[in-house]
Amino acid sequence: MRIDRTPLAVSFITLSLATTGQVDVGTLPSAVWCAGNTFDVPFTATGTFDPGNSFIVELSDASGVFAPGIPIGSLAGDVSGIVTCSSWGAAAPGTGHLVRVRSTSPAFTSTASPSSLTLAAPNAGMDGSVTLCSNGPAFALITALGGSPQPGGIWSDPNATGALTGPVLQPALLSAGTYLFFYSVEESGCTDQATVTVTLDAAPNAGTNAVITVCSTDPPFNLYQELGGMPNVGGAWTAPIGIAMSGVFDPAVDPPGVYVYTVVGVPPCMNATSTLVITVAQAPNAGIDGSASYCLTDAPFVLLDQLGGSPSPGGTWTFNGVAHGAAFFPGTDVPGEYVYTLPGSSPCGNATSSVMVTLNSCIVTAPVNMGIQSVAE
């Protein structure tokens, strides 16, 4: 008996079973997605999905075309759920965007959402800061913001300073300090806000200009006290020839002219200056007190010549408060103090000096007759 040992051929048949399933986009929670916010996309998954499957949310362009879709969020799983999207990625802001959801294993893609989505990105710019001077010009706050803020937003003054008119700040209406101002831009119900921090420095105060006249015999004085307004202390003075000086003026030696007071400002504040114009009036010169003595038989003499120094002529003489002439007549006038007065023009007062006249005990010597007679021979 013969046994056939030829191997039997075994055929393996692979059966491919069609997997059925479906992904549908749910109702969007809002018709507007504000930049910077998250956006939830609900979906329904029907059928069986493989382990490791992910549901990916895609966004169309503003024309509703997925060419291709822009992925904006995903969720790993195999059942219905909600995908929380944190950013719309490369999509451009605007209206007309549609949303769809697709699975990765097996690959199904939903139809687009029945309603369109508006991507709103109002831009108030980036927070900024600026330092201004209290005497500076009006300032447009939007120039202090960073980035590219949209114009046409609304400015607010949370401290109610009263210095903000629309988008313009008036530094002169603020006291030195730090202030916050908010800029808000609204678009499609979305709002973006940026803050400008303003530091206001007090401008230096050199006071107000003044003009004075002093007398050449006045004592030295502090120039600062002659300025108008309320100047800051600690400034510097320059003389008419432009050199620094102490700020103390001595009418006897310092020249008249324009003296400048400068208070240094801290940037952005500029230096402040004021001027003091000084005129020096020359005081009258009545000379130096003198004295004179006389004999009754002396000739008259001029009282002015008895004074010391270099008295100016043109004054008046008095004796015991009564007007007197410019000459003294021995035998007629009496000894005593004779006062010389020169009138001064404001701010200089009158100048006086005196001559003390005394009578000498003079001995009058008469001719002596020796009684010698000639003898006629």
Domain closes at, from 90, 120, 150: 120
Within a domain: 301: yes
- From the first residue on, what is the mean pLDDT of each consecutive set of 10 residues in the chain (377 residues)? 42 44 94 95 96 96 93 96 94 94 96 94 97 97 97 96 96 96 96 97 97 97 98 97 96 97 96 98 96 95 96 96 96 96 94 96 61 44
Given this model, what pLDDT does residue 369 score? Answer: 54
Q: And the tokens for 226?
A: 């002659």
Q: And the tokens for 162?
A: 């009263």
Closest CA to 34 of 95, 106, 97, 119: 119
Alpha helices in the chain (DSSP H): none
Residue 237: strand pairing partners = 245, 261
The verdict on 195 and 141 lying in the same domain is yes
Q: And the tokens for 273?
A: 């200056």
Given this model, what pLDDT does residue 19 score? Answer: 57
The verdict on 106 and 54 lying in the same domain is yes
Within a domain: 25: yes
Given this model, what pLDDT does residue 377 score? Answer: 37
Within a domain: 372: no
Task: Tell me how many domains the chain contains.
Answer: 4
Q: What CA–CA distance (Å, rounded) separates 113 from 82? A: 14
Q: What are phi and psi of 303, to 5 degrees?
A: -65, -35
Given this model, what pLDDT does residue 364 score? Answer: 58
Domain closes at, from 73, 93, 120: 120
Within a domain: 170: yes
Domain with 230, as residue range(s), is 210-281
The verdict on 266 and 232 lying in the same domain is yes
Q: Do 136 and 272 touch, CB atoms closer than 8 A?
A: no
